[in-house]
Structure 1
Amino acid sequence: MDCKPGNIALSDSFDTSETRDPAEREEALFARLPAILKRAAAAPAYAEHLAGIDLHGVRSREALARLPVLRKSGLPARQKAAPPFGGFLADPSGSFGRLFTSPGPIFEPEPAAEDPWRAARGLFAAGFRRGDVVLNTFSYHLTPGGFIMDSGARALGCAVIPAGPGNTEQQFELIEAYRPVAYCGTPDFLKVLLDGAAASNRDVSSIRRALVSGAAFPKSLQDEFSAKGIEAYQAYATADLGFIAYETPAREGLVVNEDIIVEIVRPGTGDPVPPGDVGEIVVTTLDAHRPVIRLALGDLTAAMAGLSPCGRTNMRIRGWMGRADQATKIKGMFVRPEQVAEIGRRHPELGRLRLVVTRDGETDMMTLMAETAAPSEALSAAVGATLQAIAKLKGSVTLAAPGDLPNDGKIIADERRYE
């Protein structure tokens, strides 16, 4: 049975583990979990975090839910106190292929494996196949995004163009020369490429499918890509965990990846929410080289009832539904309250700060509102440069009089709305 998007068979799966009985999967995951917990507890920080718990008895979701959560927002401080990984790895120098950093900063090791971020099955679900040429526009510089997609695509047998973001003219040359059939990157940058190609009469028609992540992907943008002959699917992935869930040709939610356990909890707690309720995503990975136990990501989602029509039987989530904390993702990069505070430290002439995130069409925009008693164009330009240096993103700056900004404790105001 062929489905419309790219003639990908709706019943196609990466391997048989995706279509096994849900009860069989659950039993297999929790049979492996005690050994993973024991491995994690060999690291000093996890030994302290899990002290006093009978790890051998954690063989169900109910037992797992009684373990304390580890908050991603707290990792920068922990890693600063015990560099580089906060004491959460038993052997911080072993079995890693690459070492990265993401905004926060958070330091992340890449396990030395063929597909260390578990990206291949998500790319397969989006229609990527052996022999495809893939344009990968995620960054290869310091952060793992580019390598997450690169390793997954090459594990499938694809040839990858390591393009990275930006430099649209050079991207057009690469596309016209190599004729990639697939794209990896943010949906925003794919739109930039398509609009730029149309305006400059460049041929990017070889791209027929895409796997997008790192930014919102509203239906309006999905329909725009589809009208141009590109079927784009989304993935929910993070720099520290890789692929967590991915869209399939059924287009009914995102299917949770294999070999991980996803819980949805009440924000600020470790308590699972009732089925269907919106809550914070908590992930446990069954990776003996780098186990991660109940990492609370700060993102909101909800579980979907039933099984996917594509034949995959794992849990489904509705995708990204906002932030449980004030950190937010802009153009594929996290921006955190700590970074906004650092701007204030570098410019003591500023008072209260508030980063406002909005949308202009299909593009994320951010404006730093800053109180000051001495506004000037020079100050505005200097603060804008600091914002870009710290957040690695461009944004505008609006200076306000002291007392103009709300006294509500909100440092980042995400005002984006999606149809």
Structure 2
Amino acid sequence: MLEASIPNPYTPAPLPAPADRGAPDPEETMSRGQIEALQFERLRWTLHHAYENVPAYREHFDAHGVHPSDFTELGDLAKFPYTDKEFLRKSYPFGAFAATGPELRRIHASSGTTGQPTVVGYTDDDLATWATLVARCFRAGGIRPGDRVHNAYGYGLFTGGLGAHYGAERIGAAVIPMSGGQTEKQVQLITDFQPRAILSTPTYLLTIADGFKKLGLDPRESSLEVAILGAEPWTEEMRREIEQTFDLDALDIYGLSEVMGPGVASESAATKDGSHIWEDHFRPEIIDPLTDEVLETGRHGELVFTSLTKQALPIIRYRTHDLTRLLPGTTHPGHRRMGRITGRSDDMIILRGVNLFPSQIEELALKEPALSPHFTLEIARPDRMDQMAVIIERRDHATLEEAQAGAAHLRMEIKTKIGPSCVINVVEPESLARSSGKLKRIYDLRDPA
């Protein structure tokens, strides 16, 4: 039994009756003052819960000379130390868990492609909360009870597929659990089953669009009206590309496995003005990634999260490495919004003294009519000088000459608006690898020695 020295102020809401599944949760309409009062009570419990049930947190807090009793107001959260992926990896597999016994109901993990896998876990209450928040995201994005929803997120240890699946079911939708890959079959099922909504990464949805065209079908004639897209940063130019290609509304959903999975924040179909963070369950901060200073609302920096209700794996001041800013709420005024992710602090390319992100290249590339959204960046060091090559596909309708002219203009735009010189290599359509999960944009070919 999970215990703490103070009572847990949170109990997951029961599954709503079918007639009520399209209605907002009471917390969605709370004022800012009500949200912050709720955050204080839930944060106080979370800090005690982590300290008393997770030795890794107890050691971490003790090493920084802080105790949960030091938390007496929301601003005191800044007294507590940050955590990150390395904190979780050092505790592999279950050292950061508060629940490892009969309360533990599910385990997910990252792929571990860049190191030790990050393992996350859920109790029954955690799973109920997760489904509720994903359903909240889908409702905000325009999915309704009774809709058919095509789920092209990957199932398995990745949190995207199952997280989206249970959220869609909780809202009362019928889920088509396709998972990722098999693009031709994706097209067939969308054509045959006529789903109203699709769940996918943005770049994989464009791959599905290519699959439609390859089969002689027009994506704009499909049944799809709503796309809820996440798991990778994407730009407004990418949104326009997707919406024009499919004739649908494309909305952003944000999450990461360590904090919960998909459903931490999402956009409203009414405004498309940034993702509202569900602050009844997560306390966000923006910090300067170099100085660790907490920044005011509106300042751009690194996103940090503290969970307020998680039982199996409490998260305290977790550094996401995602770069964004916090903004006042609009459609949900009590919950602040996050601006678009402009990049990741660990994905930043430093090229001859200039800092740049793949999203900046994407923004410029999508303005070139002859160039496709499919590209990669290769960083090499010939003659002891760093050099970046943009490998980009031409569009099907564009001639090689038109694509090369677009590449020349893109090269000039990158030099003028970002700073560094680069090489643009145009390749044939479908030459680059496709991914149904998180897309890898950067290939560092420099000799580490």
Runs of 4+ with >6 A deviation: 391-400
- C-alpha distance in structure 2 between counterparts of 1:319 and 1:224, whole Å: 16
Equivalent position SS for 2:289: coil
> For structure 2, which runs of at least 5 residues remain unmatched after alignment?
1-21, 350-356, 366-371, 384-432
Q: How far has the Cα of 1:203 moved from its partner?
A: 6.6
- C-alpha distance in structure 2 between counterparts of 1:217 and 1:395, whole Å: 12
- C-alpha distance in structure 1 between counterparts of 2:299 and 2:154, whole Å: 34
CA gap of 1:318–1:289, structure 2 versus 1, over 3 A, is: same
Contact 1:134–1:182 (CA under 8 A) maintained in structure 2: yes
1:22 and 2:45 matched: no
Alignment of 1:183-194 (within 5 A): 183-194=198-209
Contact 2:227–2:251 (CA under 8 A) maintained in structure 1: yes
- C-alpha distance in structure 1 between counterparts of 2:258 and 2:120, whole Å: 6
Q: TM-score, normalised by structure 1?
A: 0.73
The CA RMSD measured in Å over matched residues stands at 3.2
Q: How far has the Cα of 1:28 moved from its partner?
A: 1.2
CA gap of 1:89–1:397, structure 2 versus 1, over 3 A, is: closer
- C-alpha distance in structure 2 between counterparts of 1:324 and 1:225, whole Å: 26
1:179 and 2:179 matched: no
- C-alpha distance in structure 1 between counterparts of 2:233 and 2:441, whole Å: 18
Q: How far has the Cα of 1:143 moved from its partner?
A: 1.4
Alignment of 1:16-415 (within 5 A): 16-41=26-51, 42-51=53-62, 52-76=65-89, 78-79=90-91, 83-85=92-94, 87-102=95-110, 103=112, 104=114, 105-112=117-124, 113-116=127-130, 118-202=133-217, 205-227=222-244, 228-241=246-259, 242=261, 243-248=263-268, 249-257=270-278, 258-286=280-308, 287-305=310-328, 307-308=329-330, 310-326=331-347, 359=362, 361-367=372-378, 369=380
Equivalent position SS for 1:100: strand
Contact 1:115–1:152 (CA under 8 A) maintained in structure 2: no
| Farther-moved stretch of structure 1 (358-367 vs 156-165) | 358-367
Could you list the per-position Cα deviations for residues 76-124 of structure 1 after superposition, in whole angstroms to 9, with x for gaps in the alignment?
A: 3x13xxx313x22233244333322213421122433235363121111
Aligned identity (percent) is 28
> For structure 1, which runs of at least 5 residues remain unmatched after alignment?
1-11, 329-355, 373-386, 408-419
Contact 1:65–1:270 (CA under 8 A) maintained in structure 2: no
Contact 2:121–2:312 (CA under 8 A) maintained in structure 1: no
Contact 1:265–1:282 (CA under 8 A) maintained in structure 2: yes
Q: TM-score, normalised by structure 2?
A: 0.69
CA gap of 1:32–1:392, structure 2 versus 1, over 3 A, is: closer
Alignment of 1:7-18 (within 5 A): 14-18=24-28
